[in-house]
Structure 1
Amino acid sequence: MFINNKHNTNQLEHFIHAVRSDPENFGQKSFVVIGVHGWFPMKLVRSMVGEPTGTSARFCEMMVLSLKRYFETEHQLTIPDQCITVIPLEWEGKVEDRVENLYRILLENEAWVTALKAADMVLWATHSQGTPVSTMLLHKLIDAAYIQVPRQSVCLLAMAGISHGPFPYLKGSIIVKYFEADAARELFDFMDSNSDISTKFRMSMAYILRQNVKTVLVGSMQDQVVPLYSAIMSGTSHPNILRAIYIDGHIFSENDFLINLITLALRLRNAGFSDHGLLTHISEVLAGNLYSWEGGHSTIYDELGVYTIAIRYLFETQPLGKRKLMEPRSPASTVAAGAAVASSNHVTPRTTKVAAVEPKLDQFNAKVRLNPFYLPWAMRGIYDDARVQGDEFFHRELLRLQDLFDRWQPSSSKLKEIKFRLEPLKARL
């Protein structure tokens, strides 16, 4: 749910009015949808992280479906197929090798280049290792003027992105030891923000954020490979970033304490507040089983609601929509097709253009084992934060969280340990 701001120019409203006044005008509008797959290991674990062939096309297909449904549902308009160009990009290897080869492949296709330059809107969907690849590739395309913002509206959807590396303990996993490829070893370089590839990735992320590319970072609650803090790139802050979480439907419960704790922390980050490191320290307990068939590292990109978040963020916030920033006065959660996508929204009373805000890049170094005593201090930091307590919405959510904690009866040993760690704060909650 979003709050209108009548003082802002609504480009989308003008766009819709123009199309309704002259339906043929829609045929003059153009959308480009780009898909970039992640990195794929040997067949032993592809059942858990997905298959390489066709995955980029799958991202494009889902984004197009979400785009069409959005206009049909919200504006009763049908986007003609000829208005949409899909660009599924495929190439395996290390990050920089993929960037260079995908750049070459794109430029060699004259029809793609023409469509990209002429597009009114560019929607980009990527997954896992594809996140740094896409960010750096987008940087190159903008820098070379193949994509021109702000003339074109651009949104990057990164699903289970490996921004801060995989779970650190996987480096010693028996499965990982089978990954005899440079691309696999490189994934762990993202654990250190000062590594060469991580530095280049962070520079490109800062660049596209300054260029006003709307960036949606969605983590998966039961990811076997990528921690939540990595998927949402917790070490970077900017108003153009929207963070969300995908939850497999069979574990979703609207009144589950842990789910509400995570979504509250995401809302805090999206509002420009600090989560005091809570999302980093809660990520370890969320890890899915690498040896099981279950889990969200690959199921995330089959959920239409994930793509819908990016569509809404592009069209319903400035500069395209009325809303300066998305408002969190009601939960932005959807349950569909056996899954849940919980999103959180901006509430920053900033009046300057977001493009004028310099991205904040914190140093990051993932540890194999985090200090278990840090979690209650993170919670205490949130409850002692005067800005959080002074916000009516967050104050109400903290009170609700207290009630959910009192009723929480975790079954697994990992979750029981989380409740035990937070028990000293019960009186404060």
Structure 2
Amino acid sequence: MATEKSASYWSTFVRLTYAPEEAQPVPEVSKSEAGNTQNGVRDSHLDTHNDGNLNATFDATGNGSRSEPTQKEASNSANLHTSNNFSVDNGTSHQTQVERQDDTSNNDATISRWWWTGTQKDSIKDVTTAEDRHSESWARWFSYGSVTTVVDSLYKRDEPEPEPRQNKPEPLAEASSTWFPWFRTAEPENDDSDNYSVNGADLIKTARTAIETPKDTTHYAFKYGAADELLLSVSETRSETQPVRYKSRKRPRTQNEVQEMLLQPQSVTIRSSNSSIRSENTHIIPDDKPVFPHIIFPSLEENYRIITVRTQVRLLGQHLLYHANSSECHLYRRTEAKIVRRKKKTKKAVVIGVHNFLPTKMVKTTIGQSTGNSIKFVKEASKAIRAWLLNEECDIETIALDGGGKVADRVEHSLKLLGNWYQLISDADFLFVVAHSQGVTVGIQVLAGLLERVDWRNKRIGFLSMAGPFHGPVVGLDTKLVVRAYSQVENEVIRELFDLQKPSSDQTQSLKNALATLLEKNVKVTLCGSFSDQFVPLFSSLATGYTHPNIYRIIHSRLSENVPPFIILLFQAAVIAKNMGRSDYNVIQDLSDRCVGSLSTGGHGHVFEDQAVYVQALQHALETTDLFQHKHLQHAAPQLSKVPNPYQIPWNIRTLLNEILQLHNNASLVLVTQLIIAFKKWAPTSKPWKELKYALDAFEEASLQDFNV
């Protein structure tokens, strides 16, 4: 049976370790208290070289600080022989009898004050580095809570030693000042505790909760730096004005984004270096990026010609003589030398992505595809900038604005989030804003408000709109929506979206005023529409009701859509006419309803995946000239309620081709010739195109002489 140590033994250990100060009252310790203390004594199996002799002193907290003993202490320690052999029997620790060679019973009252207060003795000597390293291994044995550690080690004595960990060893816990530290509750595990301070972890938790909690409105921003630094800012939290560093691999996602990620196409062909995989599982997200062969028309070279000195003199003279009545109605391409100089001047670029999540039920009913996220937009835009710059060095900073809710709320909160980086935006040489779907209406108003708060002069600014609903979604799409299936906020979001179909609505007026503000400040706006968009028709994404020289329109089409060459050339002619400041004679609007794609296979969710779209917008923003005389935005609302007459289309197309042939220094003649040849070879199979072929039967015998060439 284990023998209990008397109080005289503990008092001897304390007296030999720390000599109490003279003339200080020393509290007495009862035998029961002295026997139950937790300050452990070094076990004999810890150090086999010292034969159990205790020749080191320890600080009050048990951290194992070791000092050289004095002559008196050395003589006293020589008389102290401790042999603590622990054995485990039914979970109980036993100690063998301790032999002491001298009588120390008269020293029971000489216990130092540090035993009670837990404070360190001031007279402890400094230790050397080598002794510190040796004493660190003793620290956990001589802490107040070391008894449980010793018992656990006895249970595991016969177990094999674990493999050494590769990670950085955790620091030893500080000794507790309480008598019962083992009753302390364990701190909850924190995913971000390894990367953040306590305050930073709290901010991260609050920000993640605000994003991941299901609700109708949310606003947040991710900012990526040049050194791969990620900052997170969430509206209506402390991080709104104090962005926190976010290092976790798992990015927080809203419930809308999680639901949209499951809306993958039923059949996607994925090209990899080894094989071609055909995936039918909508829940599998492949590692390789899906590759969709595409065409984008018209190109910048097909639309604008390079400006000459003669043209510059003519435009400058008209500007000085006629001012606003100048004939300047479109832009020109810069010379190659000026483009190279522009690349060298672009040293700092800021990319802002804007995205707005629509109600999930609406997306499933009307789109059937994921609408992406702003992080995807800024990454593709950054790649396009690096590709355009070639070998030129440039610091690219990206800010991804995302969330959901009404347009006015999105604009207000987005501007607050951008307030953290106003100086960064002001110092940039190039500002590039990209947006998709309803995020276009938000992005235009955000950029208009941003340019009122930062210095926008002496910098190039570009805006890319992908499938933006300038004139609302497809007509009649609202009849598929059930009002009762949505919350009040969701119904307001849907109503704002379809209000864009009304020219006099507040949403249309706000969008028009914001777009006019951008164009007055020389922002180059690129409008990209998807040919088979199932949600936004072509005439809406191309904003045919708006006219300005700084607006450049392009169409994105996948080759898998099997668009007839005649239709592609016809749309190319109409888009070139709009880009050159001419009228398209409603050809785009009359043919848009025949190009609407089907649910989940349309092009609404694919246009932002093509990097060539971003490159076209960059070329328009950085490789085109500026207007000598600023122009005002012209707006003519399209007649959406009017059903197009198929027999008026031939007359509209003929007038359009005559307009194209009037353009000077352009490949208009080649375009019209190709159009006539493609029509004669056209053999449509679907009903809409068969009806159009029948209406255009007069072109079967058309020639260039019929168009007043």
Match of 1:124 among 433, 444, 464: 433
Corresponding residue of 2:178: none
Aligned in 2, Cα 1:6/1:261: closer, same or farther, shift over 3 Å? closer
Corresponding residue of 1:335: none
Aligned in 2, Cα 1:387/1:89: closer, same or farther, shift over 3 Å? same
Corresponding residue of 1:413: 687
Match of 1:372 among 646, 650, 658: 646
Asked if 1:171 is matched to 2:482, the reply is no
Asked if 1:192 is matched to 2:466, the reply is no
What pairs with 1:398-409 in structure 2 (closer than 5 Å)? 398-409=672-683
Asked if 1:283 is matched to 2:595, the reply is no
CA offsets 1:91-141 (integer angstroms, 9 cap, x no match): 21122221111111211x2xx222111111101100111111111111111
Partners in 1 of 2:660 and 2:435 — Cα distance? 37
User: In the alignment, residue 318 of structure 1 is paired with which amino acid?
Assistant: T
Corresponding residue of 1:103: 415
For this pair of structures, how many residues does the alignment match? 371
Corresponding residue of 1:297: 604
Asked if 1:239 is matched to 2:549, the reply is yes
User: In the alignment, residue 363 of structure 2 is paired with which amino acid?
Assistant: V
Asked if 1:77 is matched to 2:379, the reply is no
CA offsets 1:58-92 (integer angstroms, 9 cap, x no match): 100000001101112xxx3343xxx1111100121
Corresponding residue of 2:47: none
Corresponding residue of 1:331: none
User: In the alignment, residue 479 of structure 2 is paired with which amino acid?
Assistant: G
Q: What displacement does 1:396 show?
A: 2.7
User: In the alignment, residue 371 of structure 1 is paired with which amino acid?
Assistant: N
Corresponding residue of 1:264: 573
Asked if structure 1 preserves the Cα contact closer than 8 Å seen for 2:445 and 2:515, the reply is yes
Aligned in 2, Cα 1:230/1:51: closer, same or farther, shift over 3 Å? closer
User: In the alignment, residue 435 of structure 2 is paired with which amino acid?
Assistant: T
Asked if structure 2 preserves the Cα contact closer than 8 Å seen for 1:382 and 1:388, the reply is no
Asked if 1:310 is matched to 2:630, the reply is no
Corresponding residue of 2:340: 13
Which has the higher relative contact order, 1 or 2, with Cα contacts under 8 A spaced 6 or more apart?
A: 1
Corresponding residue of 1:40: 358
Corresponding residue of 1:140: 449
Match of 1:393 among 667, 683, 699: 667
Partners in 2 of 1:415 and 1:213 — Cα distance? 38
Match of 1:221 among 528, 531, 545: 531
Aligned in 2, Cα 1:181/1:159: closer, same or farther, shift over 3 Å? same
Q: What displacement does 1:197 show?
A: 1.0
Aligned in 2, Cα 1:191/1:14: closer, same or farther, shift over 3 Å? same
Partners in 1 of 2:623 and 2:478 — Cα distance? 41
User: In the alignment, residue 370 of structure 2 is paired with which amino acid?
Assistant: G
CA offsets 1:137-189 (integer angstroms, 9 cap, x no match): 11111123x1413x111000000000000011212125788555211121111
Corresponding residue of 1:348: none
Aligned in 2, Cα 1:165/1:62: closer, same or farther, shift over 3 Å? same
Structure 2 gap segments, 5+ residues each: 1-300, 313-333, 704-709
Corresponding residue of 2:384: 66
Corresponding residue of 1:157: 464
Q: What displacement does 1:5 show?
A: 3.7
Which sits farther off after the overlay, 379-388 or 294-303? Answer: 379-388
Counterpart of 2:606 in 1: which secondary structure?
A: helix
CA offsets 1:3-51 (integer angstroms, 9 cap, x no match): 5446478654334457xxxxxxx7xx21100000144231573573425
Partners in 2 of 1:386 and 1:314 — Cα distance? 24
Counterpart of 2:386 in 1: which secondary structure?
A: helix
CA root-mean-square deviation: 2.5
Aligned in 2, Cα 1:384/1:65: closer, same or farther, shift over 3 Å? closer
Partners in 1 of 2:369 and 2:636 — Cα distance? 29
Corresponding residue of 2:402: 90
Asked if structure 2 preserves the Cα contact closer than 8 Å seen for 1:91 and 1:102, the reply is no
Counterpart of 1:171 in 2: which secondary structure?
A: helix
TM-score if structure 1 supplies the norm length? 0.80
Aligned in 2, Cα 1:406/1:358: closer, same or farther, shift over 3 Å? same
Q: What displacement does 1:394 show?
A: 1.8
Partners in 1 of 2:494 and 2:560 — Cα distance? 31
Asked if structure 2 preserves the Cα contact closer than 8 Å seen for 1:380 and 1:425, the reply is no
Counterpart of 1:311 in 2: which secondary structure?
A: helix
Asked if structure 2 preserves the Cα contact closer than 8 Å seen for 1:216 and 1:242, the reply is yes
Structure 1 gap segments, 5+ residues each: 19-25, 320-351
Sequence identity, in percent?
28
Q: What displacement does 1:384 show?
A: 4.1
Q: What displacement does 1:395 show?
A: 2.9
Asked if structure 1 preserves the Cα contact closer than 8 Å seen for 2:356 and 2:402, the reply is no
User: In the alignment, residue 84 of structure 1 is paired with which amino acid?
Assistant: I
Partners in 2 of 1:389 and 1:61 — Cα distance? 38
Aligned in 2, Cα 1:306/1:120: closer, same or farther, shift over 3 Å? same
Aligned in 2, Cα 1:12/1:177: closer, same or farther, shift over 3 Å? farther
Asked if structure 1 preserves the Cα contact closer than 8 Å seen for 2:676 and 2:699, the reply is no
Corresponding residue of 2:26: none
User: In the alignment, residue 296 of structure 1 is paired with which amino acid?
Assistant: G
CA offsets 1:217-270 (integer angstroms, 9 cap, x no match): 0000010000000001000111101000010131356x7111111111111111
Partners in 2 of 1:14 and 1:118 — Cα distance? 19
Asked if structure 1 preserves the Cα contact closer than 8 Å seen for 2:676 and 2:702, the reply is no
Partners in 1 of 2:482 and 2:556 — Cα distance? 25
Asked if structure 2 preserves the Cα contact closer than 8 Å seen for 1:210 and 1:357, the reply is yes
Counterpart of 1:297 in 2: which secondary structure?
A: coil
TM-score if structure 2 supplies the norm length? 0.49
Partners in 2 of 1:147 and 1:364 — Cα distance? 36
Asked if 1:362 is matched to 2:636, the reply is yes
Match of 2:492 among 177, 182, 191: 182
Partners in 2 of 1:427 and 1:301 — Cα distance? 41
Structure 1 runs (4+) deviating above 6 angstroms are: none
Counterpart of 1:296 in 2: which secondary structure?
A: coil
Counterpart of 2:465 in 1: which secondary structure?
A: strand
Corresponding residue of 2:273: none
User: In the alignment, residue 653 of structure 2 is paired with which amino acid?
Assistant: M
Asked if structure 2 preserves the Cα contact closer than 8 Å seen for 1:138 and 1:208, the reply is yes
Asked if 1:422 is matched to 2:701, the reply is no
Which sits farther off after the overlay, 238-247 or 128-137? Answer: 128-137
User: In the alignment, residue 161 of structure 1 is paired with which amino acid?
Assistant: G
User: In the alignment, residue 668 of structure 2 is paired with which amino acid?
Assistant: F
Counterpart of 1:155 in 2: which secondary structure?
A: strand
Aligned in 2, Cα 1:387/1:130: closer, same or farther, shift over 3 Å? same
